[in-house]
Amino acid sequence: MGEKEVRQGTLALMVLKTLESMGTLHGYGIARRIEQTSGDLLSVNYGTLYPALLKLEQEGYIASEWGVSENNRRAKYYRLTRAGKRQVERETRDWQETTAILARFLASEESR
């Protein structure tokens, strides 16, 4: 199975969850962490990552500031806000409920 592109909706939650567990990271660090966490089954496209980061920042779920990366380049660092923490909890609950419901449908299809 090849690498899958991360969907926009799921990407937002993955970004929030990554910042929740890792603390402050720059865009490249977020992308790499998501890829590693997926066991390298997902690939994060920067063309979708940066618009997602911008949207999350506009929604108040993350905040950013400029800093210097490990290789001495200027980089924007992102962190989770208090509203972002609440959003992670809400979305995690929603996903767990949706997944549980979907699992029932998949199971009922198999038992026919």
Q: pTM for the full model?
A: 0.85
CATH code assigned at 90 = 1.10.10.10
Q: What is the pLDDT of residue 1?
A: 44
Cα separation values, 71 from 68, 74, 75, 84, Å = 8, 9, 10, 29
Residue 78 identity: Y
Q: What is the per-residue pLDDT across 31-76, written as a single tens digit (0 to 9) for each? A: 999 999 999 999 998 899 999 999 999 999 999 999 998 899 999 9
How does residue 8 score in pLDDT terms, banded at 50, 70 and 90? low
Domain count, the chain: 1
Q: Which domain holds residue 59?
A: 4-110
Q: What is the pLDDT of residue 98?
A: 92
